[in-house]
Structure 1
Amino acid sequence: MEIRQINQDFAVAGQIGAEHIQAIADAGFKSVVCNRPDTEDGAVPHAEVEAAVRAAGLEFRFIPVVSGAVTEDNVSEMSAALATLPRPVLAYCRTGGRCTNLYGLVQQTAG
């Protein structure tokens, strides 16, 4: 698992599994956001990750984003999640790229 820090409150990663959650909690993250639809090839069902996240005492949000097709609703949902979730937040998808792009769009709309 490779975590890429975007700033002190937000980082991204590629696909994670339940086995990664303790390391994520130990790294100080307070919340996890899944931006990967369960229907993508190779995706770990978000419910499996969510159960491990909640068992570790962290917050979880599922905001699936289709690769290459970020919608206004995705941006709005992510913005609302980031406004309310405890920080720092780790978001994940297949490679972390779509999370990074979504975060950039949230920042543009906030400015």
Structure 2
Amino acid sequence: MDIRPLSPEFAVAPQIMPEDVALLAEQGFKTLIINRPDEENPPELSHEVFAKAAEENGMVAHYLPFYPGDMTPELVGAFEGCLDVAEKPCFAYCRSGTRSSHLWAMAQAGKMDVAEIIAAAEKAGYDHRPMAGLLAAYAEQKA
């Protein structure tokens, strides 16, 4: 499992396996956010399997599927709402971790400076420089 911290309270990773959920709980994660749509995985990796593993390990799971190229205002709002109420630290995954990191970046717009968001993503192995304009516009919209 390739855990990539974006902040002290949030990390992402490429696709994990159901048995990884116990390891996440052991590492202190309280909330699991599943951003990979079920249609991208075989049934044994469905969100229901991960939600059950999360419950068995004392975590809360949220299924917020992020289809490639489909970062809608509704999805961003749902993700922000999830982070607002989620017990921290949170862990999210998708195929590569990129979509989860994009949602985190949008949620941080207006809370963190855009350059800080981009630097945190870069440290975790994600290039969010192309999102700079979008992050700035979203931060301004939220202000």
Q: What interval of TM-score do these two structures reach, taking the shorter chain for normalisation?
A: over 0.9
Equivalents in 2 of 1:32, 1:67: separation in Å?
20
Which runs of 5 or more residues in structure 1 are unaligned? none
Aligned-partner Cα distance in 2 for 1:61–1:41: 17
* Runs of 4+ deviating beyond 3 Å: none
Q: For residues 33 and 85 of structure 1, what CA distance do their matches in structure 2 show?
A: 10
Matching residue of 1:16: 16
* Structure 2: gaps of 5 or more residues: 112-138
For residues 43-77 of structure 1, give each alpha carbon's deviation from its aligned partner in whole angstroms, at most 9, with x where no partner exists: 82000011000010111100001112211011000
Task: Look up the SS of the partner of 1:39 in the other structure.
Answer: helix
Deviation at 1:17, TM superposition (A): 2.0
> Shift of residue 18 of structure 1?
1.4
* Root mean square deviation of aligned Cα: 1.5
Instruction: Give the aligned length.
Output: 111
Partner of 2:47: 46
Provide the C-alpha distance between the structure 1 equivalents of 2:110 and 2:38, rounded to a whole number of angstroms: 27
> 2: CA distance between counterparts of 1:109 and 1:93?
24
Looking at structure 1, the residues matched to 87 and 16 of structure 2 have their Cα atoms a distance apart, in angstroms, of 20
1:86 aligns with 2:87: yes
TM-score, normalization: structure 1?
Answer: 0.93
How high is the TM-score relative to the length of structure 2?
0.73
Question: Which structure's residues are more often helix, by fraction?
Answer: 2
65-74 vs 100-109, which moves further: 100-109
Kindly tell me: are residues 18 and 65 of structure 1, through their superposed partners in 2, closer, same or farther at Cα, counting changes over 3 Å?
A: same
Q: CA deviation at 1:42?
A: 5.5
Distance 2:18 2:107 in 1: 27
Kindly indicate which of the two structures has a greater share of residues assigned to strand. Answer: 1
SS in 1 for 2:19: helix
Identity %: 32
CA distance in 1, matches of 2:51, 2:5: 21
SS at the partner of 1:5?
A: strand
Distance 2:64 2:7 in 1: 20
How far apart in 2 are the matches of 1:103 and 1:57? 23
Counterpart residue identity of residue 96, structure 2:
T
